[in-house]
Structure 1
Amino acid sequence: MSEDAALHLPTALRPAPMGEARGRLAESGGAPAWQANPASSAYAALDLGTNNCRLLLGTPNGSSSFRVIDSFSRIVRLGEGLGATGRLSDQAMDRALTALQACAQKLARRPVRALQAVATEACRRATNGPEFLARVEAETGLRLRIISAREEAELAMESCAPLLEAGDRRALLFDIGGGSTEIAWIRILPGRQVPELIGTISVPVGVVTLSERCGPSCFTEAGFHAVVEEVAARLRGFDSVHCIGQEIRAGGVRLMGTSGTVTTLAGVAMALPRYRRLLVDGQVLEACDADQALGDLFALGRDGLAAHPCVGPDRVDFVLPGCAVYAAIRQVWPVPRLTVADRGLREGILLRLMRLDRAAQRRPPRIWPGCG
């Protein structure tokens, strides 16, 4: 990114001032800070969530898409035990730090033009979240910013905007995460590349928190339906504020889901022998087919889920809690079809970085007093 272009980017999207960062890290004996390479055409997004650490690198491909050139994903369970203690555990922080060191090594091998690295619900809630991120910067050179639930929803909205179609007036976007579920109520404005976020709610239940609190009971009908009712009760207030049910009855509302839960439901509904992102991303499922897939997953039990090619042993404890959240969303908002998005926060970051960079480069150079 050129120096002039960087002036126009919000502070949160600018790379750290390299002299300041180097000096601070040198004093602490830490890793060298990440630095932008203006000659590169690649951008990077790093997302440290409650359950996963993910990195995505891409280059622009038109005005609203990009080509993936590298990626990284690892289950780190950063939020393990957080609900009980309010703190990130030493073991969870060590797992996340190991994954972030791998991300830093990838970025060192493949220079990028701009990077945004964010942390979400686990670091938002943990009393030692800022302390952990300071350690991350010292040991990896990566500066992660804790983002609000609203910004998380905005970024997911930006990533999913290309899946909207003519005739859509509104969209209801949900992201079932590890520590929370984000719901975004969206207005589609003709001629605008990015829709308008009308309202958002962050429900403090996700697949990790639910798994720790009531995971085994989700394998029973009574326990599963208890979670559905708990989550549905939290959503009804948001529904009444925005009259979402009334808008759904009027038509033109698209239900969109971005999370491992909905992509798993899609994989099962499509009877995929193994999960394939290209087949799932953007797929529109009839609600009855998604409901049937949910029933099929529930019937498998723990051993069957562990053996299923779209689930596997690493995710067996999280699938049914996630399905319970999805069932609550369907109960409150009975939209006839579900658009499945295998995209989200990282993709939204990349699209926003690219869009802001293009806008900055189109601006005329700033003329300072006395220079003309």
Structure 2
Amino acid sequence: MPVESPAAGLRPGWGEGPAAWKTPVLAALDLGTNNCRLLIAKPCHGGFRVIDAFSRIVRLGEGLTRSNTLSDEAMTRTVQALKVCRSKMERRGVSVARAVATEACRRAGNCNEFLDRVESETGISIEIITAGEEARLALAGVSPLLDPKVPKALVFDIGGGSTELVWLELLRGKPRLIDQISIPLGVVNLTETYGSDRVSPDDYATMVRAVDHVLEGFDQRNRIAEAVAAGKVQMLGASGTVTTLAGIQMGLPRYDRSKVDGSWLERKHALDISRTLLGLDYEGRAAHACVGRDRADLVIAGCAILEAIWGRWAVPSLRIADRGVREGILFELAAASRGR
């Protein structure tokens, strides 16, 4: 399945008139299964400069595995977070914005009603993007971290409701898509299935096998394992799981994006940390400064997904990206503004 072309959603909506285009202020909003994230930026040479940001765990997809609908509580939490986003966008004078929703809204039977409520209460119009568009935007956001000297790359993003993987080759330093896959397993739906306090080693192994099973065909049709064995593959990961493990590996007293983004996570260290976290209950995991209470119930499922990926493709180290869809949107909005 090819990566899709940009959606026609790059629109002015937060400021009108010629002045809005003289000094554009850009906003990118990514509403996922677990998080609501906003970046506000101004275009600059070759990219953008972030001037404001917001991130809140809203758990929009909570209970979706059982009911296929968004719960009233989850929708209310999310609307409150989006009101904060709207306030920041107004205060910063945003002139062009793109807001997207991913797996939870793709799956929920009542998502259109929810998005109507969002627009009514916040004024934010959110588009539901496909898994292909999500992967394309995420790749645009993380690609500056790829090493142009390594010919192949496996890029993944562990989300709340799904995990996206992209297989690339680098031609003259620029990534070209070979294949991609979106698997309907993420930290939220796996946690709801296998528990959130103590996870038994057997349940953990079951999660790893479930993820590995859906990776098998992707691996075989692209012969990724062969390329890994030949030392021709780099791996780049984006998600709260890998950023959390990187922060723990560094021994950070609290999470620091400036230190984590672009850092490296060693395979052996990551597996050791995962085993340590698996041996703890919710309170024990929450006590880790880089985990915290918001992620303490989800991090084990994330570790299982990562272990499945790393079990099939044993690249020695992983480049960490604390960036993704929002940055991809901003790159495109900035380029469009320069074109104008």
> TM-score when scaled to structure 1?
0.85
What letter matches 1:347 in structure 2?
E
User: What secondary structure is seen at the aligned counterpart in 2 of 1:308?
Assistant: coil
Paired with 1:231 and 1:181, the residues of 2 have a C-alpha distance of: 9
Residue of structure 2 equivalent to 1:260? 240
2 CA distance for matches of 1:58 and 1:335?
A: 35
Partner of 1:30: none
Aligned sequence identity (%)? 51
Residue 211 (structure 1) aligned with residue 212 (structure 2): no
**What CA distance in whole angstroms lies between the structure 1 residues aligned with 2:145 and 2:281?**
33
In the alignment, which residue of structure 1 is the partner of 2:57? 75
2:124 equivalent in structure 1: 142
Q: Which residue of 1 aligns with 2:11?
A: 14
Worse overlay, 218-227 or 91-100:
218-227
Larger % of strand: which?
A: 2
**Deviation at residue 62 of structure 1 after TM alignment:** 3.2
How far apart in 2 are the matches of 1:216 and 1:77? 14
Comparing 284-293 with 147-156, greater Cα deviation is found at 284-293
Shift of 1:275: 1.0
Does structure 1 conserve the Cα–Cα contact (< 8 Å) formed by 2:146 and 2:236? no
Q: In the TM superposition, what are the counterparts of 1:54-133 in structure 2 within 5 Å?
A: 54-63=37-46, 65-133=47-115
Q: Which amino acid aligns with 1:295?
A: R
Gaps of 5+ in 2: 1-5
| Counterpart residue type for residue 47 of structure 1 | D
Aligned residue for 2:259?
279
Is residue 159 from structure 1 mapped to residue 141 from structure 2 by the alignment? yes
1:139-173 deviation line (CA, Å, top 9, x unaligned): 21111000011111111111111111231211111
Return the offset for 1:218.
Answer: 6.3
Determine if contact 2:41/2:48 at 8 Å carries over to the other structure.
yes
Q: What letter corresponds to residue 11 of structure 1 in structure 2? A: A
2:279 is matched with 299
Q: Offset at 1:270? A: 1.1
Aligned residue for 2:201? 221
Match of 1:365 in 2: none
User: Relative contact order (alpha carbons < 8 A, sep ≥ 6): 1 or 2 greater?
Assistant: 2
Question: Secondary structure of the equivalent of 2:290?
Answer: coil
- For residue 34 of structure 2, what is the aligned residue in structure 1? 51
In structure 2, C-alpha distance between the alignment counterparts of 1:330 and 1:12, rounded to whole Å? 36
| Separation (CA, whole Å) in 2 of partners of 1:255 and 1:123 | 28
Partner Cα distance (2:44, 2:224) in 1: 35
User: Does structure 2 retain, via aligned residues, the 8 Å contact 1:218–1:320?
Assistant: no
User: What amino acid does structure 1 have at the position aligned with 2:80?
Assistant: T
Give matches, 1:320-331, under 5 Å: 320-331=300-311
Deviation (angstroms), 1:295? 2.3
CA-to-aligned-CA distance 1:176-224 (integer Å, 9 cap, x gap) = 11111111112212154xx222211111111111111112486211111
2:323 corresponds, among 333, 339, 343, to 343
Which residue is 2:313 aligned to? 333
SS at match of 1:182: strand
Superposition TM-score, scaled by structure 2 size: 0.93
- Label 1:38 to 1:73 Cα distance change in 2 as closer, same or farther (>3 A): same
8 Å Cα contact 1:218/1:224 also seen in 2: no
Q: 2:197–2:297: 8 Å Cα contact kept in structure 1? A: no
Partner-residue secondary structure (3-state), 2:180? strand
Q: Are 2:148 and 2:170, in contact at CA under 8 Å, matched by a contact in 1?
A: no
Q: What is the distance in 2 between the residues matched to 1:10 and 1:126?
A: 21
Please provide the CA RMSD for this pair. 1.7
Show CA shifts across 1:235-287 (max 9, x none).
Answer: 11111111111121222311111000000110111111111111110012221
CA distance in 1, matches of 2:169, 2:39: 28
Runs of 4+ in 1 over 6 A off after TM superposition: none
Aligned AA for 2:273?
A
Q: Is the 8 A contact 1:43 1:350 kept in 2?
A: yes
SS in 2 for 1:188: strand
Can you list the C-alpha shifts for 1:76-115, whole angstroms capped at 9, x where unaligned? 1111111111111111111111111111111111112321
Distance of 2:59 and 2:119 partners within structure 1: 20
The 1:274–1:99 alpha-carbon spacing in structure 2 relative to 1, beyond 3 Å, is same
- Corresponding residue SS for 1:59: strand
Gaps of 5+ in 1: 1-8, 17-33, 362-372
